Amino acid sequence: MNGKWLKVLGRLVGMKNVLAVVVINIKNAMVQVIGEFLMDTNNEDRVKWVYSSKNNSELSERYDEWAKDYDNDLSEFFGWIAPQTAAGYLAKHLDTQSEVLDAGAGTGLVGHALSELGFKNLTAMDLSMGMLKEAESKNVYKKLDQMVLGEFLDYPAGYFDAVISVGVMTNGHAGPGSFDELVRVTKPQGVIVFTLKTDVYLENGFKQKMEQLESDKVWEILEVSDEFHPLPIGEPEVLHKVWIYKVLK
Ligand SMILES: C[S@@+](CC[C@H](N)C(=O)[O-])C[C@H]1O[C@@H](n2cnc3c(N)ncnc32)[C@H](O)[C@@H]1O
């Protein structure tokens, strides 16, 4: 083969390589677009994706990623009504000047519901900075703190009049061990309000822990709501109850 043909062949091989790179880039872009489309359209998968997190750091990263769409997904695709429901129970037992900790505040839906009822002294706490940023933009909290339920909470003993925690005490999120610190940071005679899925209450050690705290005279039950459907659009089969306890020591 003479030099001329070698040059032509070289150019053809070069063009083939360029073409291959272009095709790979187009393919990757399409995979990403389709992935994002599926994530946006299949919101139930997003919930499963969050619940399947292997540890707190993965859980926090996944909530960070979901934060911007969380409010819209929860209201449009699930009809999430637990924040308003639990806020209503808290308001029955406390005056609006009370210092309230929203534990696992997420994007601030509970804070928003409480502020609509006149509460102003609200602190948001969550493990996800992304969720807390969304909560901050609601302008209903005077303080926002990144902390983890189940670990030491950096508040003095008896600091809050009440704690509220909605959709947080559940599989792969905060466990029954979280109650010890929530009790410590609540004043004696203060109130702790939280939602629990009915099967999680029975199967994940919550029933045992809640009864233990009661028999140890750490808290006493003030009220338990009837079962209600917190996600009437997306998961109508799910049942929650709101639990309201008074802290004794
Ligand atoms: C289903 S969302 C509920 C958010 C909000 N309370 C609501 O009702 O919309 C659960 C929230 O709990 C937070 N979370 C989960 N496990 C936590 C933990 N161990 N400590 C603190 N926050 C936690 C997540 O980051 C997320 O913001």
The larger pLDDT score, comparing residue 22 to residue 52, is at 52
Q: Look at residue 48 in the predicted model and tell me its pLDDT.
A: 84
Q: Look at residue 21 in the predicted model and tell me its pLDDT.
A: 67
Q: Which domain-ending residue is among 43, 77, 111?
A: 77
Whether residues 58 and 99 share a domain: the answer is no
Q: Which domain-ending residue is among 25, 56, 77?
A: 77
Whether residues 118 and 236 share a domain: the answer is yes
Mean pLDDT of 220-225: 98
Q: Is 106 in the pocket of ligand 1 (CB under 6 A)?
A: yes
**pLDDT exceeds 50 at position 35:** no
Instruction: Give distance in angstroms: CA of 170 to centre of ligand 1.
Output: 9
- Residue 176 CB neighbour total at 10 angstroms: 20
| CATH number for the domain that contains residue 191 | 3.40.50.150
Angle formed at CA 217 by CA 213 and CA 218, multiple of 5 degrees? 55
Q: Is 110 in the pocket of ligand 1 (CB under 6 A)?
A: yes
The larger pLDDT score, comparing residue 188 to residue 15, is at 188
Confidence label for 24 from pLDDT (cuts 50, 70 and 90): low
Whether residues 93 and 150 share a domain: the answer is yes
pLDDT tens for residues 108-150? Answer: 999 999 999 999 999 999 999 999 999 999 999 999 999 999 9
The first and second tokens of residue 134, run together, are 């969304």
Q: Which domain-ending residue is among 77, 98, 115?
A: 77
Whether residues 23 and 58 share a domain: the answer is yes
Angle formed at CA 195 by CA 192 and CA 200, multiple of 5 degrees? 120
Instruction: Give distance in angstroms: CA of 144 to centre of ligand 1.
Output: 13
Nearest CA to ligand 1 atom 10: 168
Of 126, 146, 147, 153, the one to substitute when testing ligand 1's pocket (max ligand atoms within 8 A of C-beta) is: 126
Instruction: Give distance in angstroms: CA of 131 to centre of ligand 1.
Output: 8
Whether residues 19 and 110 share a domain: the answer is no
Whether residues 114 and 130 share a domain: the answer is yes
pLDDT tens for residues 65-106? Answer: 999 999 999 999 999 999 999 999 999 999 999 999 999 999
Instruction: Give distance in angstroms: CA of 168 to centre of ligand 1.
Output: 5
Residue range of the domain that includes 15? 3-77
Residue whose token pair is 């109508």: 236
Whether residues 152 and 242 share a domain: the answer is yes
Round the average pLDDT of the chain to a whole number and report it: 90
Whether residues 99 and 110 share a domain: the answer is yes
Instruction: Identify the H or E element spanning 197.
Output: strand 186-197
Q: Say how many domains are in the chain.
A: 2
Give the C-alpha separation, 151 to 52, whole Å: 21
Q: Look at residue 226 in the predicted model and tell me its pLDDT.
A: 97
Whether residues 111 and 71 share a domain: the answer is no
Whether residues 63 and 102 share a domain: the answer is no
